[in-house]
Structure 1
Amino acid sequence: MRGLAGKAILVTGSSNGIGYAMAQRLVADGTKVLIHGRDQAEIDAACRHLGSATQGMAGDLADPATAQAIVDATVKAFGRIDGLVNNAGIYPRGAIGETTAEFFDHMFAVNTRAPLLCAEAAIRAFRLQKSGGAIVTVGSLNAWCGASNLTVYSMSKGALMTMTRNLADAIGPERIRVNQLNVGWTFTANEDATQQREGRKPGWETQVPVRQAPSGRIMQPEEIAAHTAFWLSDESAPVSGQVYEVEQFPVVGRL
Structure 2
Amino acid sequence: MRGLAGKAILVTGSSTGIGYAMAQRLVADGAKVLVHGRDEAEVAAACRHLGASAQGATGDLADPATAQTLIDATVKAFGRIDGLVNNAGIYPRGVLGETTATFFDHIFAINTRAPLLCAEAAIRAFRLQKSGGAIVTVGSINAYCGLSNLTVYSMSKGALMTMTRNLANALGPEHIRVNQLNVGWTFTANEDATQQREGQKPGWQDHVPLKLAPTGRIMQPEEIAAHTAFWLSDESAPVSGQLYEAEQYPLIGRV
- Tell me whether the two structures share a fold, i.e. TM-score over 0.5: yes
Q: Name the structure 2 match of 1:9.
A: 9
Structure 1 residues not aligned, in runs of 5+: none
Q: Name the structure 2 match of 1:219.
A: 219
2:79 corresponds to 1:79: yes
| Aligned length in residues | 255
Aligned-residue offset at 1:79:
0.1
Equivalent runs, 1:110-129 vs 2, <5 Å: 110-129=110-129
Q: Name the structure 2 match of 1:177.
A: 177
Task: Indicate the SS of the match to 2:245.
Answer: strand
1:145 and 1:200 mapped to 2: Cα distance? 24
1:233 and 1:45 mapped to 2: Cα distance? 26
Render the CA deviation track for 1:150-177: whole Å, top value 9, x for unaligned: 0000000000000000000001000000
Aligned-residue offset at 1:206:
1.0
1:48 and 1:230 mapped to 2: Cα distance? 25
Equivalent runs, 1:1-255 vs 2, <5 Å: 1-254=1-254
Q: Which amino acid aligns with 2:135?
A: I
Render the CA deviation track for 1:120-144: whole Å, top value 9, x for unaligned: 0000000000010000000000001
Structure 2 residues not aligned, in runs of 5+: none
Q: Which amino acid aligns with 1:178?
A: V
Task: Indicate the SS of the match to 1:177.
Answer: strand
Q: Which amino acid aligns with 1:172?
A: G
Render the CA deviation track for 1:97-137: whole Å, top value 9, x for unaligned: 11000000000000000000000000000000001000000
2:98 and 2:253 mapped to 1: Cα distance? 30
Aligned-residue offset at 1:253:
2.9
Render the CA deviation track for 1:206-227: whole Å, top value 9, x for unaligned: 1111011111100000000000
1:153 and 1:251 mapped to 2: Cα distance? 18
Aligned-residue offset at 1:254:
2.8
Identity of aligned residues (%): 85
Aligned-residue offset at 1:18:
0.1
Aligned-residue offset at 1:145:
1.9
1:103 and 1:253 mapped to 2: Cα distance? 34
1:147 and 1:215 mapped to 2: Cα distance? 22
2:182 and 2:109 mapped to 1: Cα distance? 19
Q: Which amino acid aligns with 2:124?
A: R
Aligned-residue offset at 1:89:
0.1
TM-score by length of 1: 0.99
CA RMSD, aligned part only? 0.6
Render the CA deviation track for 1:66-85: whole Å, top value 9, x for unaligned: 00000000000000000000
Task: Indicate the SS of the match to 1:191.
Answer: helix
TM-score by length of 2: 0.99
